[in-house]
Amino acid sequence: MSQQETGILRLKAQSYKLVALNIEEALIMGDLPIKREEAIAYFYYCIVEELLDTPPGRLTEKVKELSNRTFYDTVRRKPVTFSERTLFRMLKKYREKEFNGLVPQPRKDAGTHPTLSKEVLGKILELKAELPTRSAAKIIIMLSLSGKIKEGDVSVRTISRILNQKGYTRESLAKQSRVHIKHECEHINERWQGDIMSAFHLPYGQNGEMRMVYLIGFIDDCSRRDMHMEFYFDSTLPRVEDVLRKAITKFGLPSEIYLDNAKVYISEQFKLICARLGIRLRFCKPYQPAGKGKIEVFWKYVQSSFVTEIKNQKVKSLSELNDLFFAWQKHEYTFRPHSSLEHDGNKISPIKRWELDINAGIRLKYPSPMQLGEAFLHETTRSVNKYGVISFDGNTYEAPAELVLKEITVRYNPFRLDNLHLYYQGKYFSTARVIDLKRERHSEVGNIPETYEYDSEISRLYFKNIRIEYEKYLQDQLNNLQVHQPELKSVPETAVEDSLTKAGPVSFPSSRKHSVSRDEFIALICKTAGIDSPTFSEKGRIYEYWNTFKDFNYEILEDILKKISLKNGDFNRNLFYYLATLQKDYKDQLSKLQEVKRHAR
């Protein structure tokens, strides 16, 4: 090597020395996370550096001197020695590739073992990836039990080395980023996302004790419209049920709900509620909140836009907080363009996206009031003793005699134990009569209130306006029914059909009255309910209804039963509930026909 080339290498050595000193300081101080390979390369460089300053003709002598010396490896933390051949090879690598030539290169057989097959190596990596906290000793036990290896064939140290060389360490696996694919449902009510957000503290009760308030809600995946959201002083199951019930009442049933693994969501009672309503539950993986990102993003918006502002206001009650939140939703979210919603190149609001599907013919599915109320009843099983008595949560009730010594299903509102619904063999039977009511509330709800009182002026006006709007809605429905009623004139009975035909496209039965026999009544009920052969108990219950009101117009009765069965999908299962309202429906229908007939005269 010429003197000029040697000088250049020495200059480069000085620059590398500065870098190496920084690395050494970082190793000592622990301030800079550096790669293990670079630290080893610096250790080699410190040895090679002495050879670079060796005068010409004395290199062999210097190498022999270094081979007899012991060095302390600061990386591996142990004393090491180098042979003359190794020192010459290190110098050659440095002259060819400079500092990078001293960086250790991975072995071609790294992560392998001569006694382990590729299949076993794959199983080792698979078991570690499946559970990053799984130890090497545990992996050996699992492999030996499965017959993949023999006990004693491989050591814990070997497994650890293979995992380290392949990068399957606990730290690296925990830091692995997961790719989340952005997904959006095509239509509304295909999926809702639900969650609970901890907000801030608010005065509670007469003593003004500060308590945390929770925002519980559901959001539509497609339109981003909030189905219903409300603040509560607790996040128990009854509160989640309340929000879900209100959301379904307003916007119908979703096909599925996507939730995290919170205790209230994975409870058997919540699963049962959704199963009764035909709602599929989907749960995201634990500690992976990005799966339900839409509602998480909404929570961030609530925190930044609503919570930060409301903290500056002196909110005195939960009712006032909810009033302000409902107003904020309307003005700051529901009707404002959403950054993720677009139509014809323009950003649109959640309600606009909702209305696009409604106008395109998407129909919302609403359960009947009976179905909805029944779905949210809690459920348990009890046995009726020989005296016809049921014991339930410290209370005693009387059951019908037909249920003596039978196991029945009891459905109840946990806040009101004065009314138990009894089911036998999956069908509604009757309510239980209270004998001794020691507890009015079930022990599972503790002392939490059924509802929080809404005492603010906005709330009173809100519910007053709702009642007025609902009464108006009922009046409109009644007017629509009267418009479609046939116009009956004072004509002989033989001409009633002709007069009904002239009244419009909808034909009604004649008003001719005749008594319906017991067998006819039973046959009609069973036909409408789809019961081929009623049990003795069912016949007895139907007899009771027939005895209380024998004089039916058969055609009107048949028409009412058809309407009830078509409107309510649970007519067969809750037959006796609907029969209890049959008499009132019949009288209302008959009085309307008589009123039309009277005006026609």
Give the per-residue pLDDT at 111: 52
pLDDT at 512: 39
Residue 493 has pLDDT above 70, yes or no: no
Q: Is the pLDDT at 254 greater than 90, yes or no?
A: yes
Tens-place pLDDT, residues 124-165: 888 888 788 888 888 888 888 888 887 777 888 888 888 887
Does residue 511 carry a pLDDT above 80? Answer: no
- Give the model's pLDDT for residue 499: 39
The whole-number pLDDT of residue 353 equals: 92
Q: CA-to-CA distance for 234 and 159, rounded, in angstroms? A: 49
Please report the pLDDT score of residue 550 as a whole number.
Answer: 55
Nearest Cα to 546, choosing from 568, 520, 526?
520
The answer, yes or no, to whether residue 570 has pLDDT greater than 70, is: no
Helices 457-483 and 318-329: crossing angle in degrees, nearest 10, is 60
Query: In the 3-class helix/strand/coil scheme, how is 170-225 assigned residue by residue?
Result: HHHHHHCCCCCCCCCCCCCCCEEEEEEEEEEEEEECCCCEEEEEEEEEEEECCCCC
| pLDDT tops 60 at residue 349 | yes
Q: What is the mean pLDDT of the chain?
A: 76
Higher pLDDT, 501 or 283: 283
Of 171-175, 279-283, 311-315, 463-467, the poorest mean pLDDT is in 463-467
- Ordered by start, the domain boundaries in the chain are 3-102, 118-175, 191-359, 382-445, 483-600
CA gap 351, 228 in Å, rounded: 13
Out of 3.40.50.300, 3.30.420.40, 3.30.420.10, 3.40.50.720, the CATH code matching 191-359 is 3.30.420.10
Query: In this predicted structure, what is the pLDDT of residue 95?
Result: 85
Backbone angles phi, psi at 233, to 5 degrees: -85, -5
> 465 pLDDT band (50/70/90 cuts)?
low
- Contact between residue 215 and residue 202 where contact means Cβ atoms under 8 Å apart: no
Strands 71-73 and 78-80: antiparallel
CA distance 125 to 136: 10
* Res 397: pLDDT: 93
Residue range 370-380, pLDDT digits in tens: 778 888 888 88
Amino acid at 482: Q
- Distance, in Å, from the CA atom of 236 to the CA atom of 265, rounded to the nearest integer, reads 10
- Token pair for residue 165? 């060389």
Which range (399-413, 417-431, 550-564, 570-584) has the least confidence?
A: 570-584
- Residue 276: count of CB within 10 angstroms of its CB: 17
Residue 505: its pLDDT value, please?
A: 40
Highest mean pLDDT among 205-209, 433-437, 587-591, 596-600: 433-437
- Give the tens place of pLDDT for each residue, 306-340: 888 888 778 888 888 888 888 888 888 988 898 88
> Cβ distance 388 to 263 under 8 Å?
no
DSSP string, 337-366: PPTT-EETTEE--HHHHHHHHHHTTPPP--
Asked whether residue 32 carries a pLDDT value surpassing 50, the answer given is no
Percent of the chain having pLDDT more than 90?
13
Q: Residue 451 pLDDT > 90, yes or no?
A: no
DSSP characters for 244-263?
HHHHHHHH---SEEEE---H
pLDDT (average), residues 254-277: 88
Interatomic CA distance for residues 40 and 91, integer angstroms:
15
**C-alpha 365, offset from chain centre:** 20
Q: Is the dihedral of CA 290, 292, 297, 303 positive or negative?
A: negative
Q: Which residue in 313, 319, 303 sits closest to 204, CA to CA?
A: 319
What three-state secondary structure class fits 421?
Answer: strand
CA dihedral 82, 85, 88, 89 (to 10 degrees): -90
Q: How many angstroms separate the Cα of 437 from the Cα of each of 163, 397, 413, 441, 444?
A: 65, 8, 14, 10, 17
Mean pLDDT, residues 62-66 taken together: 89
